[in-house]
Amino acid sequence: MNESNIPPRKIKVGIPRALYFYRYGPLWVYLLRQFQCDVVISAPTSAKIVEDGAKQAISELCVPMKLYFGHVQALLDEYPDLDYVFIPRYVSIHKNQYYCPKFLTLPETIKYGMKLSVPILTLEVNAKKHYGIEGAIEMGKTLGFSLEDSGKAWMVALKKYNQLKSKMNSSNYIDILASLDKNPNHVIKKRKFREVIPKKIRGKFPLSILILGHPYNVYESYINMHLIERLKTLDCHILTIEDTHSDQFKKPVKINKIYEQYWQSEDEILKTARYYLNEGKKEIDGVIFLISFACGPDSLIEELVMRDMKTRKIPFLTLILDEHSGESGMVTRIESLVDMIRRKKYDSISSS
């Protein structure tokens, strides 16, 4: 407290609700709170955020990057008193594997692309620099914390994050991320969808669908047009990378005799696909792969996954997301896939 008993104003830091907020958002919030910051998060994606992002970013970028621009703008519009925008730099979490180059240069892309006047607070996560602790110490220095206190703050935040992560799965993922945002104006209203399956047969012909893709595509309901909710109304049980046992990620994926998967996110996708192509084959009835238009790494592995699924006769659908994706076209494709799988599965059961 100061002399007038008014608590000192906390440093206000804004986190854009985009890209790896959908994976590491809780870790960032815990860390910033350890640093005594007032943490705010941009509003859930809306038509305006998509439009603002598409206007500010260059047109060649993938839609998750365009959304990032839109979310930074949303923070600046809603919180004019922001001290920092938090923009991390994810380089690698495993030696010899890297995140997409867009993550490596994210702070600069936003700084110069948006001519940002609010300072950026960054956290570098890099396997060559002790996986984040060095980045946290740098960040702590900017916020006025000692090396020791910053190191402790990182360890506490990481422990809390790992505990939470072990409880996260595709059923609670969106709600847990939403609970990080304390702004009552940001409550995500659940959309109601028409019931496609008649009541009397609901639950009698269930299916399990694996959704592959980056978390910022799988759990970003606005841009994927509520894929998870829609599949649930079609009596489908959902599985994602977050439901896959951590043991499945230990063994490397070899594309061929000499080449191991180089991109971090695509490695996760391939390891999940490998499990469901083999031991987990009976756990799924079909696969939907969500990819972003203009995504280099996704386009490299989509073909590999599609061919493998075809060989194992697992129904497979790729949905390409961009800011112009039309809802009716998407819904028709999902409903047709589910209908086709259900007819095949239950006809073959009834005729056997």
Nearer to ligand SF4, 136 or 291 (CB): 291
Residue 215 interacts with ligand SF4 (CB under 6 A): yes or no: no
Q: In whole angstroms, how close is the CB of 9 to ligand SF4 at the nearest point?
A: 35
Residue 264 interacts with ligand SF4 (CB under 6 A): yes or no: no
Residue 218 interacts with ligand SF4 (CB under 6 A): yes or no: no
Closest CA to 49 of 64, 37, 35: 64
Q: In whole angstroms, how close is the CB of 63 to ligand SF4 at the nearest point?
A: 8
Nearer to ligand SF4, 172 or 299 (CB): 299
Considering only residues 65 to 84 of the shown chain, the ones binding ligand SF4 according to CB under 6 A are: 65
Considering only residues 284 to 303 of the shown chain, the ones binding ligand SF4 according to CB under 6 A are: 292, 295-298
Q: In whole angstroms, how close is the CB of 148 to ligand SF4 at the nearest point?
A: 35
Query: The tokens 């190191």 sit on which residue?
Result: 151
Q: In whole angstroms, how close is the CB of 233 to ligand SF4 at the nearest point?
A: 27
Paired strand residues for 86 = 121
Pick from 23, 71, 102, 230 the residue near ligand SF4 by CB under 6 A: 102
d(CA 125, CA 96): 14
Name the E strands within the chain. 12-15, 38-41, 84-86, 89-90, 120-121, 124-125, 207-212, 236-239, 286-292, 316-321
d(CA 13, CA 45): 19
d(CA 121, CA 209): 39
Residue type, 209: I
Q: In whole angstroms, how close is the CB of 265 to ligand SF4 at the nearest point?
A: 6
Q: In whole angstroms, how close is the CB of 30 to ligand SF4 at the nearest point?
A: 24
Nearer to ligand SF4, 139 or 223 (CB): 223
Residue 100 interacts with ligand SF4 (CB under 6 A): yes or no: yes
Q: In whole angstroms, how close is the CB of 322 to ligand SF4 at the nearest point?
A: 10
Q: In whole angstroms, how close is the CB of 253 to ligand SF4 at the nearest point?
A: 17
Nearer to ligand SF4, 123 or 295 (CB): 295
Nearer to ligand SF4, 133 or 300 (CB): 300
Nearer to ligand SF4, 23 or 342 (CB): 23
Residue 158: how many CB atoms within 10 A of its CB?
Answer: 17
Pick from 17, 214, 230, 271 the residue near ligand SF4 by CB under 6 A: 214
Q: Specify whether the backbone of 85 is left (phi greater than 0), alpha (psi in -120 to 50) or beta.
A: beta
Q: In whole angstroms, how close is the CB of 296 to ligand SF4 at the nearest point?
A: 6
d(CA 107, CA 112): 9
Query: The tokens 């923009």 sit on which residue?
Result: 87
Strands 207-212 and 236-239: parallel
Written as six digits, the tokens of 235 are: 């009596």
Size of the site for ligand SF4 (CB under 6 A): 12
Residue 64 interacts with ligand SF4 (CB under 6 A): yes or no: yes
Closest CA to 246 of 166, 329, 143, 164: 166
Residue type, 211: I
Q: What share of the chain is helix, strand, coil (3-state, %, to 5)?
A: 50, 10, 40
Decide: 217 and 239 in contact? Cβ < 8 Å.
no
Pick from 15, 29, 40, 62 the residue near ligand SF4 by CB under 6 A: 62
Q: Which residues contact ligand SF4 by CB under 6 A?
A: 62, 64-65, 100, 102, 214, 265, 292, 295-298
